[in-house]
Amino acid sequence: MSAPAGLPTGGAGVVTPRVGHGLLGGVLRRGGGGGRRLFGRVRTFLFILLLTGISILAIYPFVWLLSASFKPQGDVFDNRLIPREWQWNYTGDPTPVAGDERLFALPDLPVLSWVWNSVWISLLAAVLVALSSALVAFAFAYFRFPGRGLLFALILATMMLPGAVTMIPVYLIWNELTLITGETGRLAFLPDIGVNTQYPLWVPNLFGSAFYIFLLRQFFLGIPRDLFEAARIDGDSYWTMFRRIAMPLAKPALIVVFIFELQAQWFDLLKPLIYLRDAALYTLPLGLKTILDQQGLGGGGEGRWEIIMAGTVVTVVPMLILFAIFQRYFVEGIATQGRKG
Amino acid sequence: MATVASTDAPGPPRRARRSLSGFRERETWTAYLFILPWVIGFAALTAGPMVASLYFSFTNYGVEQIAGFAPTERVGLDNYRQLLDDPRIATSLQNTFVYTVMSVPAKMAVALGLAMILARLAHGAGFFRTVFYLPDITPPVAIGILILVLFNGSVGIVNRALEFIGIPGPFWTTDPNWIKPSLAIMSIWTVGGTMVIYLAALKAVPNHLYEAAAMDGAGPWRRFFNVTLPMISPALFFTFIVLTIAGLQTFTEVFTAYFGEGSAGAEDPDAALMNVVYLFRQAFEFFNMGFASAMAWLLFAIIMVITAIQFVVSRRFVFYQGGDER
């Protein structure tokens, strides 16, 4: 490529004079200040118009959902964004007359417990996986030990494995634990762990997770080794070094892992579906599916869709709040994924 | 720790000597202690179950065997033969492929388009990025429910909108021909994460490449094909692989909308029967664990083959800057 001699060829912070026709101005992403051409302005306007239209498409389902959750049964599918008639579908009489049930007062369906189950299981699982993955990741980033390369390759390989392959034997392990820790089992003195308890949902997170180990290792590799060496010279143990230096520095990466896992747990339907039998133990996704199956008969106007919509809102909103708080980490975490891949 | 004897003596090659002496270092044992959680998890929840799954796929392990009423017997390749005999296996695989082929390229194209517009915006890109990302944090169960209500044939908003511009909409959620397209269209809604990845990749393309191309007289299209696409090809490739693998394992949205005890959507619709949905039903509704294990290995094999093909093909198209970043 033949740039005339003496002309700066751009790069970070270097302003390159514009050359060629007006059309080419478009290549400059932060297209210049005052000298912007009419074409650029029209184009920007069209872009904004297009993006606004797409934004409406992106937001519309949320608004539809929210407004439907405030409508009486007959109006759910009227597709009005502002309810013609408002109805509170969330709480109500715990012993309702048939046809007048509310979300948090559904007979036999402890929706409030589901919310609580989802909250504590997601939080616990996310904290555990962040800590355990960090421990393993730190070892792979800092220590040199025989078999390191091989073991790390193994971690990467497990990322490719579809969950379906291990799903059945892992279920059978938990099923076995149910028999052992159940009333007639040899270890009956232990609390019941196994199928139809919530342990299978979070206990695996004690052992780290391949993707998070990979992500955190990348982060630990970016911390200057001198920091650790200095701590060693000061006489810190490896554990202190990990806890006092590595972990605080890795806080942004740990938050990314935390929110990714929180989201994954909040989303998960498959595991609760496999392991939970009693309605009291359900998490929100399984609970919502149960409400849908119970109240959604007929698919159209006959079912109690206003309750289903209220339940969907309760499932969606906590994630929106989480996103509002941790937006930067969501976006940066995702963007990093692409770069490291 | 034992004192180390002199290792300076000539003899075994350096590498081996170093790795053996590694076991005498305190650091080594500390490292193993640190990775112990993963080692336990790998043995108990990945490697062990993989071996077990392979074994079960050659047995009749099922509900009677779990309960201990009947012995587990090896049945050779019966389960794998049944994969060929059961017409629903072919149906579910076909459904999964059709859905993946429809949704992945559409998602990538929309994400790239949005990312390119946002990358050129001087102001407000952050706002739109946030808005487009919002659908991505919607739980899949909620998305399954949204499919049922938005695409409802008689009262859904999609058909109302189509009516408005004079097109009679199909019965998306009950017509076997339209179930997968509606799933694919809905999947485009959650395009935000992919878009964010592309946006980051686009911003990393050095400006001087565009300027050089412009000076050489390249128009917008040539710049797109000769500068933008090669420079972001690693991100495209990454999302292509990840979206494909995810698409081939689609479960929650489809299961929510079309399967389960109620009949909110079409009644037991074979047209929506995805591979993992069928696997789940075989394993945990009918408890045919042996057969379901064979299904799981088939899925694994398919994913491996497709990913391998993607890797081979990508060698021609993916451009890694500096060469050593892979």
Q: Which two tokens stand for residue A30?
A: 């932060």
Max avg pLDDT among A186-190, A271-275, A300-304, B217-221: A271-275
pLDDT confidence bin for A296, thresholds 50/70/90: confident
Identify whether the C-beta of residue A228 lies closer than 8 Å to the C-beta of residue A249: no
Residues B112-170: tens digit of each pLDDT: 999 999 998 878 888 999 999 999 999 999 999 999 999 988 889 999 999 999 999 99
For residue B74, report the phi and psi dihedrals to the nearest 5 degrees: -80, 135
- Smallest CA–CA separation between B197 and chain A, in Å? 5
Identify whether the C-beta of residue B215 lies closer than 8 Å to the C-beta of residue B67: no
Q: Which of B19, B34, B150, B179 to mutate to test the interface with A (most CBs of A within 10 A)?
A: B34
Q: How many residues does chain A have?
A: 341
Instruction: Provide the mean pLDDT of chain B.
Output: 87
Give chain B positions within 8 Å (CB) of A47: 117, 120-121
| Amino acid letter, B96 | T
Would the CA dihedral through A211, A213, A216, A218 be positive or negative? Answer: negative
Q: Which two tokens stand for residue B164?
A: 């408005």
Q: Which residue has tokens 């003596």? A: B9
Angle, alpha carbons A115-A118-A123 (nearest 5°): 125
Identify the pLDDT of residue A168: 95
| Minimum mean pLDDT range among A104-113, A291-300, B165-174 | A291-300
Residues A49-75: tens digit of each pLDDT: 999 999 999 999 999 999 999 999 888
- What is the C-alpha to C-alpha distance for residues B96 and B302, in angstroms, rounded to an integer? 11
Residues A201-234: tens digit of each pLDDT: 999 999 999 999 999 999 999 999 888 888 888 8
- What is the C-alpha to C-alpha distance for residues A125 and A136, in angstroms, rounded to an integer? 17
- Measured between CB atoms, which of B53, B140, B289 is closest to A269? B140
pLDDT confidence bin for B106, thresholds 50/70/90: very high
Q: What is the mean pLDDT of residues B181-204?
A: 94
- Measured between CB atoms, which of B40, B52, B117 is closest to A169? B52
pTM: 0.87
pLDDT confidence bin for A179, thresholds 50/70/90: confident
Q: Which residue has tokens 């069928």? A: B278
Identify the pLDDT of residue A182: 79
For residue B7, report the phi and psi dihedrals to the nearest 5 degrees: -110, 15
* Interface contact A27-B223, CB threshold 8 A: yes
* Interface contact A334-B292, CB threshold 8 A: no
For residue B44, report the phi and psi dihedrals to the nearest 5 degrees: -85, -30
Q: How far is CA B293 from CA A177, B28, B43, B229, in A?
A: 21, 38, 19, 41
Identify the pLDDT of residue B23: 62
Angle, alpha carbons A254-A256-A261 (nearest 5°): 95
In the predicted model, is pLDDT for residue A27 greater than 50?
no
Identify whether the C-beta of residue B31 lies closer than 8 Å to the C-beta of residue A138: no
